[in-house]
Amino acid sequence: MPLLIDDASSQSCSLPEAIEALADLGFDPYDEGSTLEAAAWLKRLTNNREFLSRLLIDRLAGRVGGGSGMALESGYGPQAIVLSGLRGSMFLRANIWPAEQDLCFQTSGAANFVYGVPHDHNFSFLTSGYCGPGYRSDYFEYDYEEVVGYPGEPAGLRFIERSALHEGKLMLYRAHVDVHSQLPPEALSVSLNVMHVDPAQAWFDQYGFDLERGEISRVLSPNATEAFLRVAVANATDEALDYAEWVGAHHPSERLRLASYEARAALGDEAEQDALWRESEASGSRMVAAIATRRRAAITG
Ligand SMILES: [Fe+2]
């Protein structure tokens, strides 16, 4: 499960102070000293019982900012409130966790708040319980290096525990290690996150899991590059096909290699599809080969 960080400090700080300190620090979740220092700032912000309500009231009253120096636009829907822009390797956000009896839960449904959607993360982040009893999670761990990432692949999940992110609790979620399936809190709750941003993370997938079967169920992380490649290949220009052929054989991202084979297979008849998937079985990617074998079996019946 995520690493618990013990910090009993009662010091507090303002949102701008936390943003500046975390930006200067260059939060690195793989460095223990950096993680503890970032967690200390998150705890100080968590101890500030006023900043979030002030910021939300500013927004409701039509005054934006609330000390963050930015408007409260969120790219994550109504559940997430972005508290800072990207500063160095991090940004700050707050997450709202409605309880089952809350109206937004009843109107939007559990899945819109990622309840009951077991997943890992392709980024690390520090989190704190800011207010309320906190969302509950069933926590698991798995070995990312041991899976290749196709739907239906045994994930080797190890159950750790069920616990809640109660007020004042601090944790580090580790990219590609910690898996959780969240349950709504007993009452409306809010968590704060220091999100670590790594430019390479888009090339590493975030997975959804089927807990009953203990398998990877799907890839959750969006990848615009993959969509661009599929659109370009769908138009079947020589340039796009040449580029896609190179991607299929050589690109460091296995997911992009798979997208190349899928996009090109969609252009051909069954014999051409079979030939392409046969080629991909020898492409050097275990994930692509596993999917290719299934696709060939589906073609040949
Ligand atoms: Fe999560």
Q: What is the pLDDT of residue 77?
A: 58
The answer to whether 66 and 75 have CB atoms below 8 angstroms apart is: no
Q: Which amino acid is at 180?
A: H
The answer to whether 66 and 54 have CB atoms below 8 angstroms apart is yes
Burial class (CB in 10 A: 0-12, 13-18, 19+), 57: exposed
Count other C-beta atoms under 10 Å from residue 79's C-beta: 17
Residues in the chain: 301
CA of 176 to the centre of ligand 1 (A): 11
Q: How many angstroms separate the alpha carbon of residue 192 from the centre of ligand 1?
A: 13
What are the pLDDT digits (tens) for 147-185? 989 999 999 999 999 999 999 999 999 999 999 999 999
**CA 121 – ligand 1 centroid, Å:** 6
Instruction: Answer yes or no: is pLDDT of 62 > 80.
Output: no
Q: 178: CA distance to ligand 1 center in Å?
A: 9
Q: Which residues contact 271 (CB under 8 A, 6 or more apart)?
A: none
The CA 123 to ligand 1 mean position distance, Å, reads: 10
Q: For residue 173, what are the β-bridge partners?
A: 125
Does pLDDT of 255 surpass 80?
yes
- The distance from CA 18 to its chain's CA centroid, rounded to whole angstroms, is 23
Domains in the chain: ranges and CATH: 3-219 (2.60.120.10), 224-300 (no CATH)
Report d(CA 114, CA 187) in Å as an integer: 16
> Which CA distances in Å does 192 have to 95, 139, 241, 261?
6, 19, 45, 41
Element of type H or E holding 75: none
pTM of the model: 0.84
CA distance 238 to 140: 46
Q: How far is the CA of 169 from the centre of ligand 1 (A)?
A: 16
The phi, psi pair for 298, rounded to 5°, reads -70, -35
Reported confidence tier of residue 69, pLDDT bands at 50, 70, 90: very low
248 CA to centre of own chain: 26
